[in-house]
C-alpha cells in the first residue's frame, strides 16, 4: 500500500537580541516552541500526529533548505525576501503573535498562501491589565509614583469609577476583554472600530472615522489597535489636544498609533492627567529616551497580554485546532486579511 506523504511543518524559533523579538533571555524562554511542547499539544490527536512531521529550528540556521519543501510555517518573524522562490510549496503560515505589522506589506505572499495569527491567546491577560491600568489612572497612581520619585508626600484622593467614560479604540480580543471587566464596574465604554460592529461591554460603538466626536468625552482613552498604515499616528498631537486635561491614556496596541513626543509634552504641562504605555519602537527603549523622565507616566515592558509559562501552550491550542481544519481542507480560523493587515 502506498504511503501518503506527511505534511511538513517548519517551526522557526528566535534567539533573543536587543531591538528584536524576543528582546531578552526571559522572553526567549517564554516564547520558544520545543518538541516537547508539540508532543503535548498533539497528545489527544493521534490522527493528526501520524499525518505530520515537525522540523524545529532556530533563526535562519536551516530556514532556506527546510522551506524548499515545507507545507506549513509556524513562526513569528522571518525574512520575506524572495519568499515565493524560497518556499514554493508553502500553503499556510501561522504566527505565534496576534500582530503582523512586522511583515507588512504582505505583497511577498503568493495568492494561495494563507496567513493566520494567534489572536485570542492574549485576551485574558490583556483584560486584567486593562482593568488594572484604568483603575490605576482613576486612583492617580501615575502622579503618586512621580511624587514618590520626587520625595513628595501629597494626598491625592479619588472617587469610585462608576459613571466614568472609557473611549476604547480597537475592539478585538484585547480591547473587548478589557471592556467586559471594566463595564462591570458601571463604567461607560464607547467602542471605536472600523465598521461600527457591536461589542460586548460597550454601551455604543462608532466607526473610526467618527473618533473626533467622542474624544472630548473620554475620562480614559484606551488604545488596543494593531500597527497598520491606517492606524499610523491615529492619535496625533491634534487629537491629543481634544482630550480633557483630566483624561488618562493607556496604549497596549503599537507605538506607531500615537504621537509619543506630543504625549510627553502634554504630560509635562499637565494637559493630560497620566498615561500607561506598554508598547514601544524599538524595544527595549533607548536609555536616552525622554519617556524615562516624563512625569505622570508609567512604562511597562510589553507585558500587558502574554501569559507567562502558558503562552506556547495557548498558541499551540489555536494552531492544532487549525491544523485539524487544514487536514480536512476546511476554512482556517484567525485568517489575516492581506489588504487590511490584521
- State how far the Cα of 91 lies from the Cα of 184, in Å rounded to an integer: 43
Q: Could you tell me the three cell numbers for 333?
A: 480560523
Contact by Cβ (8 Å): 22, 31: yes
- Told to judge if 15 belongs to the known catalytic residues of this protein, a careful annotator would answer no
Question: What is the chain's length?
Answer: 342
How far does Cα 141 stand from its chain's mean position? 24
Please name which of 63, 55, 98 lies closest in space to residue 79, comparing C-alpha atoms.
63
Annotated catalytic residue, options 102, 197, 254, 328: 254
Residue 102, number of CB atoms within 10 A of its CB: 14
Residue 158, number of CB atoms within 10 A of its CB: 11
Residues near 178 by Cβ (< 8 Å), separated by ≥ 6?
126, 127, 129, 130, 131, 134, 168, 222, 224
Annotated catalytic residue, options 94, 283, 328, 335: 283
- Told to judge if 335 belongs to the known catalytic residues of this protein, a careful annotator would answer no
- State how far the Cα of 256 lies from the Cα of 279, in Å rounded to an integer: 9
Annotated catalytic residue, options 10, 122, 140, 302: 302
- Told to judge if 102 belongs to the known catalytic residues of this protein, a careful annotator would answer no
- State how far the Cα of 16 lies from the Cα of 19, in Å rounded to an integer: 9
Gyration radius of the chain's alpha carbons:
22
Q: Which helix (H) or strand (E) holds 123?
A: helix 123-138
**Ranges assigned E (strand) in the chain:** 7-13, 52-58, 72-75, 92-95, 114-116, 165-169, 188-193, 204-207, 220-223, 248-251, 274-277, 297-299
Kindly list the catalytic residues.
254, 283, 302
Amino acid at each position: 500500500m502506498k504511503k501518503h506523504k506527511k505534511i511538513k511543518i517548519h517551526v522557526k524559533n528566535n534567539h533573543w537580541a536587543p531591538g528584536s523579538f524576543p528582546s531578552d533571555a526571559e522572553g526567549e524562554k517564554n516564547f520558544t516552541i520545543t518538541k516537547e511542547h508539540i508532543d503535548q499539544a498533539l497528545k489527544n490527536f493521534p490522527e493528526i500526529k501520524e499525518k505530520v512531521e515537525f522540523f524545529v529550528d532556530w533563526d535562519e540556521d536551516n530556514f532556506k533548505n527546510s522551506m524548499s519543501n515545507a507545507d506549513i510555517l509556524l513562526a513569528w518573524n522571518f525574512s520575506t525576501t524572495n519568499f515565493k522562490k524560497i518556499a514554493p510549496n508553502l500553503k499556510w503560515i501561522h504566527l505565534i503573535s496576534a500582530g503582523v505589522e512586522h511583515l507588512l506589506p504582505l505583497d511577498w505572499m503568493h495568492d494561495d498562501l494563507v496567513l493566520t495569527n494567534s489572536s485570542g491567546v492574549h485576551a485574558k491577560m490583556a483584560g486584567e491589565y486593562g482593568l488594572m491600568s484604568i483603575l490605576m489612572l482613576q486612583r492617580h497612581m501615575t502622579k503618586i509614583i512621580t511624587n514618590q520619585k520626587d520625595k513628595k508626600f501629597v494626598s491625592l484622593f479619588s472617587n469610585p469609577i462608576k459613571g466614568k467614560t472609557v473611549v476604547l479604540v480597537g475592539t478585538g480580543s484585547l480591547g473587548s476583554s478589557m471592556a467586559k471587566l471594566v463595564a462591570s464596574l458601571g463604567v461607560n465604554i464607547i467602542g471605536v472600530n472600523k465598521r461600527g460592529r457591536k461589542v460586548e461591554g460597550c454601551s455604543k460603538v462608532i466607526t473610526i472615522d467618527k473618533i473626533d466626536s467622542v474624544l472630548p468625552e473620554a475620562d480614559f482613552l484606551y488604545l488596543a489597535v494593531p500597527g497598520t498604515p491606517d492606524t499610523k499616528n491615529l492619535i496625533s498631537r491634534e487629537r491629543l489636544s481634544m482630550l480633557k486635561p483630566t483624561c488618562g491614556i493607556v496604549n497596549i496596541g503599537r507605538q506607531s498609533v500615537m504621537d509619543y513626543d506630543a504625549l510627553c509634552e502634554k504630560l509635562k504641562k499637565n494637559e493630560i492627567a497620566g498615561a500607561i504605555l506598554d508598547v514601544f519602537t524599538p524595544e527595549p527603549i533607548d536609555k536616552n529616551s525622554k519617556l524615562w523622565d516624563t512625569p505622570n507616566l508609567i512604562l511597562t515592558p510589553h507585558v500587558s497580554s502574554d501569559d507567562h509559562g502558558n503562552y506556547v501552550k495557548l498558541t499551540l491550542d489555536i494552531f492544532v485546532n487549525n491544523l485539524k481544519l487544514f487536514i480536512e481542507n476546511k476554512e482556517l480560523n484567525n485568517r489575516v486579511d492581506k489588504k487590511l493587515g490584521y
